[in-house]
Amino acid sequence: MKFNTFCIVAGSEACTGGCKWCVAAMTTARSIHRGKAKPVDERVFKMACQMAQQSGLDTARITGKGEPTLFPDQIEQFLRALQPYGFTFVEMQTHGRHLADEDFVSLEDMRKWADLGLTHVCISVVSYKSERNFQHYFAHSQSYDSYFDMAALISKLHRLRINVRLTCIMQKGDIDSAEELVKFMSWAKEVKADQVTILPVNKPEDRERNPRVYDAAMNSLLAAEQLADIRGYVEKHGVPIRTLPWGAKVFDLKGQNLCFNMCLTESPERDDSRQLIFYPPGTLGHDWQRQGAVLYELPAEATEGMELIPVRKRQGGKK
């Protein structure tokens, strides 16, 4: 079996974001704990890295079923464990808040990650408007009263030699037309984002897994006409430079790197899988949605006595 991406799940389902249609909540929990994180079985993680390299992959992506930056020590552990395999690029997906505020994560953590090989931070957004990003991600929490300064965060990461990709999830009422995309791309240049990925909100196949999230996704889906308007603009004004194995296309759009992607998608090839997924403590999967899509699972008997990892205690940080 050949894989196209290598995804590493860090942390637990704990999250400080409040996405109503949370992509992670649409997918199987596997062995991920709701509050504390499970430790990493080094033997199985080595298997995952070897399988990724056998597929010729040059990128490893640290992601989460919750917010991975709540567990900065585990991120460091993954980065150290990845080093012997020489992945050219190592990415981390996040909503960005704790990198900006330096509350659960310190600047020293970020500096250490960069030194250990973190090359890209992928920050999820829904808009170029701070108030809309705040409403979507943080309005549910009494800990925050505004959105963070994106330009300042990107500048901080740039000083650490880390590139930033803005991952814009397009939903009804925000980036839902070519006109709105033009404004978003202008903002991305203004804050000096290195790359942009756009993808429409998608829904899982199974409503029963999480009816609330499924219904929220349904209410946020772009209409076919809206998606066609956006796609038409990108194809008319962008220069295609790459097509990824699962169909995502990368463009040079007026000097800005732009990837038009889809979430929860699958590779059409029979012996080809879009992703290899490592779930702590030791499960190897290849599909986010299907519980049965498992290549190896560390037996429960082998996990007895493993000590769970708590969310790092919140520091003062920046407000």
Q: 29-63 pLDDT, tens per residue? A: 555 556 789 999 999 999 999 999 999 999 999 99
What is the arithmetic mean of pLDDT over 221-236? 96
Q: List CB contacts of 150: < 8 A, sequence separation 6 or more.
A: 96, 100, 123, 125, 130, 191
Look at residue 114 and give its three-state secondary structure: helix
**Over 70: is that where the pLDDT of 171 sits?**
yes
DSSP state, residue 10: E
**Over 80: is that where the pLDDT of 89 sits?**
yes
Distance (Å, rounded) from C-alpha 278 to C-alpha 290? 14
Between helices 178-190 and 224-237, what is the axis angle to 10°? Answer: 50
Residue 28: the pLDDT is 56
Domains in the chain with CATH codes: 11-42+64-80+89-284 (3.20.20)
What is the arithmetic mean of pLDDT over 101-108? 97
Q: How confident is the model at residue 273 (pLDDT cuts 50, 70, 90)?
A: low
Please, what is the average pLDDT of the chain? 90
- The distance of Cα 312 from the centroid of its chain, to the nearest Å, equals 20
* pLDDT above 90 as % of the chain: 72
The more confidently predicted of residues 94 and 308 is 94
Read off the tokens for 143. Answer: 């800990």
pTM of the model: 0.92
Per-residue pLDDT tens for 136-157? 999 998 889 999 999 999 999 9
